[in-house]
Structure 1
Amino acid sequence: MSAPAQERRESNVITEITFHETTEVYPENSRAALAGHSLLQTQRLLRRWTRDPFTMLQAIVYPAIMLIMFNAVLGISVTRATGVNSVYGYAPMIMLVGAMFGSIASGIGLKTEWREGLLSRFWILPVHRASGLVSRLMAESVRIMLTSVLILLVGVALGFRFNQGVLAGIGMLFVPLLLGVGFATMVTALAVTSAKIPLVELLSLVCTLLMFFNSGFVPTAAYPTWLQGFVENQPMSTAIDAMKGLTLGGPVAEPLIKTALWSIGAIAVFALPAVRGYRKAAGTPI
């Protein structure tokens, strides 16, 4: 048989295709679909972040180096002035810095996925529409908790201890998570509502200012009188005060309530813009 005839014969052969047995029988918009699809996309995001050097630097390496630098440069002076080891302020502050700058890095990654059309490709798949945003908040929560634990280990090496007990120390790790979820909601909203304006990138400047004007950097009384009210009540300070109370000792309820109000307020303001912006971004590439 000639080669052309052989090729024609092979082209007429129907290849049998077998499909995997269907395991998900619930509707696309059901709660079960939301849970399953959110978990799947959470795994995708965590895997993507671990492979992205920029995200890893912003979330882990940069905060760890900052904690060591602050403790080496300012730690002795602050400790002598206050009589309290400065690491009890610096470690909580850097945990929050890691949570916030990590969210900014993931927000920039979200804009990259929008620009490359990845959000649009996910949007046309048979997945629950809310799973994209839910998975991002879930992945952010996992990242914030892991970052906080790693920063805490560095702090322990520098003298950080759980003076109020292990349970209070474990509770302290959830304070960055409380504030971080609200902050991540804001970052997501800014990322998907500003195609050309670098709002997420500019947010890092605001976070840098907050980092130098909070009760963890130096005690609130060390700031000018006219600035103390802002320093005491800005979200980083309230979270730091709650974390210090759970570890070193001091008030916990009031700063924790203020932190919760900051986080709930951010979610209330930015949740709807995040949902609307994500839908628009998924349907309209940059």
Structure 2
Amino acid sequence: MTLVDEKTTDHGVDRRCYENSARVLVPQTLVQTRRILLRWGRDLTAMVEVLVLPVLFLLTVNIVLGHMVSQVTGHSALYGTVPMNALAAAINGSAIGAIGLIGERDDGLLRRLWVLPVHRASGVCSRVVAEAVRITITTAVLVAVGMMLGFRFHQGLLAILAWLIVPVIFGLSYATLITMVALHAAKNFLLEAVTLVHLLAVVFSTGFLPVDQFPKWIQPVVAHQPMSYAIEAMRGLSLGGPVRWPMLATLLWATGITAVCIGPTLIGYRRASTH
């Protein structure tokens, strides 16, 4: 008995009910999450993309622009650049998972998993958990480097926890978007799309300068794009300032992106697993 679509075993037990029962979802998700994380950990390019490049970018921005930004804003530039780098790394790093998914589709691994006695939802859930772990690790590394440069939390333990959660929420929503693109477009287009989103989100955000320092015609775009809201929420949670509205706007953006992309993403994942 090899096909998951068979209704019964030799003992007359409905295998589909067991394979898709809630009690096997968590352990099978953890097994597949471990597989994905091990694959990333053994990929030198992925490790450089996730850990090295965000740190180098943070150091470069702090050396080149840190003093100038501090003079304009009146506080350390790190309260904007550390959140900005954490969010940008969440976007850029999601390409790793998307490219890995494309490779598993082309190699036929997704099709083999589809016909095995494995919970169908564990494949998708494991990728969500793996993305959350990746974002958390990258964010923790950037915070550690930022604190060595002078970044500090001034709003208490709960604010620190909320600060760390923002990149995870933000990154998972963009991972859904990028995974959708990966499942419905060519690999080259995926890389170009991720690069474009990454650059536009970073350049036209409040991570470097306040909104009023941008030309007036672009200020509404800078003020209301999702990365700016997330940066402002994280700045308020670390340095102090408005938190409620930036956090709410970040959640609305993340929910909207996920709601729009989740359907096509699941359809594309099923198609990649069955064709």
Cα RMSD, aligned residues only: 1.6
Match of 2:26 in 1: 35
Q: What SS does the corresponding residue of 1:173 show, helix, strand or coil?
A: helix
Match of 1:177 among 168, 186, 195: 168
Match of 1:210 among 182, 198, 201: 201
- Is structure 2 residue 228 aligned with structure 1 residue 237? yes
Structure 1 moving runs of 4+ over 4 Å: none
Match of 1:124 among 90, 109, 115: 115
TM-score by structure 1 length? 0.87
Q: What's the CA shift for 1:82? A: 1.8
Counterpart AA for 1:44: R
1:51 and 1:201 map into 2 onto residues whose CA distance is 25
Query: Gaps spanning 5+ residues in structure 1: where?
Result: 1-23
Further displaced range: 263-272 or 64-73 = 263-272
Match of 1:144 in 2: 135
Identity in percent: 45
Further displaced range: 159-168 or 43-52 = 159-168
1:261 and 1:200 map into 2 onto residues whose CA distance is 26
Q: What SS does the corresponding residue of 2:265 show, helix, strand or coil?
A: helix
Q: What's the CA shift for 1:210? A: 1.2
Q: What's the CA shift for 1:166? A: 2.9
1:196 and 1:104 map into 2 onto residues whose CA distance is 10
Match of 2:95 in 1: 104
**Closer, same or farther: CA 196–159 of 1 in aligned 2, 3 Å:** closer
**Closer, same or farther: CA 128–149 of 1 in aligned 2, 3 Å:** same
2:187 and 2:212 map into 1 onto residues whose CA distance is 41
Match of 1:67 in 2: 58
Structure of greater Rg: 1
Query: Gaps spanning 5+ residues in structure 2: where?
Result: 1-14
1:8-47 matches, within 5 Å, as 27-47=18-38
Match of 2:145 in 1: 154
Deviations 1:202-242 (A, max 9, x none): 22212111111100122111100111111011111000000
Further displaced range: 111-120 or 57-66 = 111-120
What is the aligned residue count? 261
- Is structure 2 residue 83 aligned with structure 1 residue 92? yes
1:49 and 1:140 map into 2 onto residues whose CA distance is 11
1:116 and 1:269 map into 2 onto residues whose CA distance is 28
> Contact 2:91 / 2:194 at 8 angstroms: preserved in 1?
no
Match of 2:104 in 1: 113
Q: What SS does the corresponding residue of 1:238 show, helix, strand or coil?
A: helix
2:99 and 2:195 map into 1 onto residues whose CA distance is 11
